[in-house]
Every structure is written in C-alpha cells, then in structure tokens.
C-alpha cells in the first residue's frame, strides 16, 4: 500500500511538473525566437537556418526553467494534497512526515542528477551545434542585407556598397571588396547590377566596370581588368558570425581542465585555436562549471523547503503565514542559485566555501525538519 501511495504522489508531481516546465519554456522560447529572427535574418540567412537555430536553443531554455518549475510544482502538489485532505492517506497508512520528506528528497536527488547530465553534456553540445549551424550555413537572403548608401560588411571577407536600388532590385554604382584569401584582394566597381538565380545558386550580375586584382596585398602588384558584363558568385559567402565559442558552448572537460590547470600549475594553455585558457578565463570557466553542477543541487534544497508544508495545517490560521514564508524562502533560494556563481574569484578558499554552501544550507534545513518533526510527534 505504501508503494502505491508514493507512486501516486510521484505521478501527480511529475505530471504537473512537466506541464509547468514545458509551458514556461515554450513561452520563453517563443519570446526569444522573435528576438532571434532579427539576429538571423540580418545576417542574410533563410528560415531553414532560423528554425534549426531556435530548435537547438530550446534545451537550454528548458534547463534554465527546471529549478524554478520544480519548486513551484512541488509546493502546489503538497498544498493540493493538504487542501483535499489527501495528505491524511499518508498518516493513516503509517507513513510518517519524516518518511514522506525523505522520499521527496530522494526523488529530488534523482532529478538533480538528470539535470546535471543535461547541462553538463547535452546543453553544451546543442549550443555549439546551434552556433555551428549558422557558421557553416550559406547566405540565403543576400538581397536583404543590402541597404542604399551604406557599406555592408556582415559577410565574411566581403564588403559591398550600393548607391541606389529600385523596386525591381536593379542596382546603380556598386562597389565590392572581396578578400579571396589572406594575401589576395579584389576590388570591383560597376555602374549597374542585379542579383540573379541559376538553379540553387545566386549571382551578382555586374555591368560596365573594372576589377582591381591585388596580389600579396601589394598595390604594386595590381592588375586592372575592365569588363562590360561579369558575374560574381554569392552562393558560397559566409556571415561573420563569431567563431569564438561562448563559455556555455564549451565542452565541460575543457572547462574543468582549464580550472585545474590554473589551480595547480598557474599556466596559460591553448586548448584549441579558438580557446585560450588564461587566469581570467579560468574564473569564467569555474563559474560555468558551478552553473552546470553545484547550482543544480539547489533542487534538493528547494525540495526540502517545499517539504516543510507537511507540517502545516489549514485549520490553523497562523499556517497561512507559514506557507507564504515557505514559498518566498524557496523563491529567494532560487534567486540565490542564479547569482551564487558570480561570487567566485581567484581565491581557492572562497570558491570552496561557495561550492559547499548548498550542502550547508541543505543540512541546516534538514536538521530544522528533524527538530520540527520531534515537536509534532
């Protein structure tokens, strides 16, 4: 009977928790998707790239919502059981308040482990994939980048200036600078032009102009080529989306290695051409590791705080104040979990104290529960 009761309680909680977590995540995701629309389209990417990017960003949003959703859901379910007198089923079947609290703490530990795996392994991968998705995608909406009388350098190694564009897409007085590689550059000017499509490829058709072909970035080695008509292939152009990953996108092994490298050896180290472990980046790495691991343990603390509701009684008017205190205490610790990493510094002692803080807070609340339970026996 005891297993059935616990299974029913767990089913009710998980069902409500998933509804809250996915609903809140969806709302935040939609809002961010609208913001991302400008971010993607201003780089000339099409909707295929846009949808791929926002879908890969959903796991990150979901992981950030989990801690808050967990506390709110658990608080609601315990409160619901009390309001409907379903909580009496536990007591009448010999399940003590402390046993129920221990059960809540046990499944909060399980959710914490799942969350740590999610943020430690899955999220960095999806974040890196989302940025790489943009970085390796071709420009689909090149015409949307061009603005009259403005130098556009959104495209990697490419600059374009157009004096006038009509409603049909005809351009006048065009200037292009194409850095073919690190040593060679082409400067193209034309009186008129228009973007045309040939199959899946896009070309800029140019009329009446000349090409300055500069070899080895030395104007003495410049070739001048005049033309009446030529085409410039736009299909392989890439945006200048940063190749330097954010700390949220870096592999957890790299971050851990960077922190340990400075803690033990205090030496700078290159882990890849795009990431250099310095003293400053080691602190940022420590903050990210904290957010991926220690921060998630606040789920257990919030479970312990919400579990205090089992000691309340709706018949006692003072308990409404106690419930409000429990709820706002939970919200306060939820906020603390978000900002705690910012207190990390170059001091190892300081960082150890901050890392141990969740454990100390949990033990304090748990001992408080034990004393409260003794008084209620």
188 and 336 within one domain: no
Percent pLDDT > 70 in the chain is 81
Is 238 among the domain residues?
no
pLDDT digits (tens, 9 = 90+) for 141-185: 555 667 777 777 666 677 888 888 887 778 888 888 887 566 678
Nearest to 189, CA basis, from 215, 213, 212? 212
What is the residue-wise DSSP string for 29-69? HHHHHHHHHHHHHTTT--HHHHHHHHHHTHHHHHHHHHHHH
Together in a domain, 153 and 55 = no
DSSP class of residue 217 equals G
Residues 229 and 248 in one domain: no
Q: How high is the pLDDT of residue 104?
A: 94
Do 116 and 222 lie in one domain? The reply is no
322-327 average pLDDT score:
88
CB-count exposure of residue 64 (10 Å: 0-12, 13-18, 19+)? middle
The reported pTM is 0.75
Pairing of strands 222-233, 185-198: unpaired
Residues 209 and 329 in one domain: no
183 and 254 share one domain: no
How many Cα atoms within 13 Å fall on the side-chain side of residue 291? Answer: 23
Among 180, 213, 233, residue at a domain's last position: 233
**pLDDT band with cut points at 50, 70 and 90 for residue 65:** very high
From 233, 268, 301, give the residue that closes a domain: 233
- Its domain, for residue 292, covers 2-136+244-376
User: pLDDT grade, residue 74 (50/70/90)?
Assistant: very high
Assigned domain for 24 exists = yes
The answer to whether the CB of 295 falls within 8 A of the CB of 341 is: yes
Q: What is the pLDDT of residue 273?
A: 55
Question: Number of structural domains, the chain?
Answer: 2
Q: Are residues 274 and 362 in the same domain?
A: yes
Q: Find the range with the poorest average confidence among 30-39, 111-120, 271-280, 306-315.
A: 271-280
Q: How far apart are CA 43 and CA 240, in angstroms?
A: 8
268 in the same domain as 123: yes
Whether residues 118 and 17 fall in one domain:
yes
Tell me: do 125 and 174 sit in the same domain. Answer: no
Q: What is the SS3 assignment for 169? A: coil
| Average pLDDT across the chain, whole number | 81
């Amino acid at each position: 009977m005891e297993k059935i009761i616990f299974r029913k309680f767990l089913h009710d909680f998980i069902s409500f928790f998933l509804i809250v977590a996915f609903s809140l995540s969806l709302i935040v995701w939609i809002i961010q998707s609208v913001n991302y629309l400008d971010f993607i389209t201003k780089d000339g990417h099409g909707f295929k790239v846009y949808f791929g990017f926002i879908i890969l960003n959903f796991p990150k949003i979901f992981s950030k919502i989990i801690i808050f959703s967990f506390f709110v859901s658990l608080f609601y379910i315990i409160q619901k059981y009390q309001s409907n007198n379903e909580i009496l089923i536990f007591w009448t079947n010999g399940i003590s308040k402390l046993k129920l609290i221990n059960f809540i703490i046990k499944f909060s530990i399980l959710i914490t482990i799942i969350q740590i795996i999610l943020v430690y392994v899955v999220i960095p991968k999806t974040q890196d994939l989302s940025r790489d998705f943009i970085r390796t995608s071709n420009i689909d909406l090149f015409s949307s980048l061009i603005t009259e009388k403005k130098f556009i350098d959104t495209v990697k190694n490419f600059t374009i200036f157009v004096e006038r564009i009509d409603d049909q897409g005809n351009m006048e007085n065009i200037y292009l600078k194409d850095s073919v590689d690190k040593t060679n550059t082409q400067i193209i000017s034309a009186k008129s032009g228009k973007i045309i499509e040939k199959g899946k490829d896009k070309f800029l058709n140019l009329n009446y102009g000349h090409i300055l072909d500069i070899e080895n970035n030395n104007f003495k080695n410049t070739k001048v080529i005049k033309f009446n008509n030529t085409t410039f292939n736009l299909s392989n152009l890439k945006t200048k989306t940063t190749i330097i990953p954010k700390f949220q996108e870096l592999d957890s092994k790299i971050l851990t290695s960077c922190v340990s490298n400075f803690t033990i050896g205090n030496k700078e180290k290159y882990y890849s051409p795009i990431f250099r472990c310095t003293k400053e980046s080691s602190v940022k790495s420590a903050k990210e590791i904290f957010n991926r691991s220690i921060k998630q343990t606040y789920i257990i603390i919030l479970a312990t705080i919400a579990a205090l509701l089992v000691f309340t009684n709706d018949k006692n008017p003072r308990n409404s104040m106690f419930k409000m205190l429990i709820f706002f205490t939970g919200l306060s610790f939820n906020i603390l979990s978000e900002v705690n990493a910012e207190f990390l510094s170059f001091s190892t002692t300081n960082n150890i104290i901050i890392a141990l803080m969740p454990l100390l807070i949990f033990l304090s609340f748990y001992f408080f529960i034990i004393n409260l339970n003794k008084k209620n026996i």
